[in-house]
Amino acid sequence: DVKVTQSSRYLVKRTGEKVFLECVQDMDHENMFWYRQDPGLGLRLIYFSYDVKMKEKGDIPEGYSVSREKKERFSLILESASTNQTSMYLCASSSPGTVKEQYFGPGTRLTVT
Amino acid sequence: GEDVEQSLFLSVREGDSSVINCTYTDSSSTYLYWYKQEPGAGLQLLTYIFSNMDMKQDQRLTVLLNKKDKHLSLRIADTQTGDSAIYFCAESDNGGSQGNLIFGKGTKLSVKP
């Protein structure tokens, strides 16, 4: 059974803290994605990676960075957390192919106070 | 740019049919997708349709595609309370890198007993 796991389901951090969100997939997928989900705004792509050590900016990369040192792991970093980064963060992975099915993790609900 | 539009809310009674509509802009999308997000969970692929098809049926689900109008719909027959979720329409991001999808904002389906 395919699996994408995220390190935390719920996280509370203070403004200015450095925050790491980890995502691991066990499907040997090349592509990995980080989204944030906010009510009324749907999913917005933050960063994605299509190979180890490769990264590409999505639609809203400001205030975030990513790391992909190993194929199975894709980390999202909030360099200095701010209250407007309070959100649900979803990680996904996929393999290159005709049908671009993305497999999602359960999400991390981050609250920045 | 590419955009996917869908209404934000739909409410139906248990046993009725639900129809969730979506419009997209990229006529070159090869596949179009429907994802389901249950409360507190990540997204899960529900079904997809190849762009040269008009209809796809899978048990209680029927997907209709009107390529001329760039309109996609998802019909759920005999809707159950367990179908209550957010449904996302998505198309391939053919202008972007491999594997990217463009999601609509999601339609929250509420099923009343």
Quote the CA–CA distance of A68 and A56 in Å, as a whole number.
Answer: 11
B92 → chain A, closest CA residue:
A100
Chain A hits for B88, Cβ within 8 Å: 42-43
Quote the CA–CA distance of A73 and B78 in Å, as a whole number.
Answer: 40
Chain A hits for B45, Cβ within 8 Å: 101-103
A101 three-state secondary structure: coil
Give A81's DSSP letter.
-
B38 → chain A, closest CA residue:
A106
Tell me what pLDDT residue B100 has: 84
CA triple B29-A106-A10, angle to 5 deg: 135
Tell me what pLDDT residue B94 has: 62
Asked whether residue B1 carries a pLDDT value surpassing 70, the answer given is: no
Summarised one tens digit per residue, pLDDT across range B49-99 is 988 889 999 999 999 999 999 999 999 999 999 999 999 999 887 655 567
Quote the CA–CA distance of B25 and B12 in Å, as a whole number.
Answer: 28
**Of B41, B44, B99, which is closest to A100 when you measure between CB atoms?**
B99
What proportions of chain B, in percent to the nearest 5, are helix, strand and coil? 5, 55, 40
Q: How far is CA A41 from CA A82, A88, B10, B84, B88, in A?
A: 19, 12, 17, 19, 12
Closest CA to B67 of B102, B29, B95, B104: B29
Asked whether residue A69 carries a pLDDT value surpassing 60, the answer given is: yes
The token duo for A37 is 């989900």
Q: How far is CA A44 from CA A17, A47, A60, A89, in A?
A: 23, 9, 7, 10
- Please give, rounded to a whole number of angstroms, the shortest distance from the CA of A101 to a CA of chain B: 7
Note whether A90 contacts B43, CB cutoff 8 Å: yes
A96 → chain B, closest CA residue:
B99
Chosen from B87, B105, B107 to mutate, greatest number of chain A CBs within 10 A: B105
Q: What are phi and psi of A85, to 5 degrees?
A: -100, 5
**Which chain A residues in 24-83 lie under 8 Å from chain B, judged by CB atoms?**
30-31, 33, 40-43, 45, 48, 50, 56
List the beta bridge partners of residue B88: B35
Closest CA to B97 of A44, A47, A60, A104: A47
Chain B hits for A98, Cβ within 8 Å: 30-31
The token duo for A4 is 């994408």
List the beta bridge partners of residue B76: B18, B61
Summarised one tens digit per residue, pLDDT across range B60-72 is 999 999 999 999 9
Mean pLDDT, residues A91-111 taken together: 88
Dihedral sign computed on CA atoms, order A106, A107, A108, A110: negative
B67 three-state secondary structure: coil
Asked whether residue A86 carries a pLDDT value surpassing 80, the answer given is: yes
- Please give, rounded to a whole number of angstroms, the shortest distance from the CA of A34 to a CA of chain B: 11
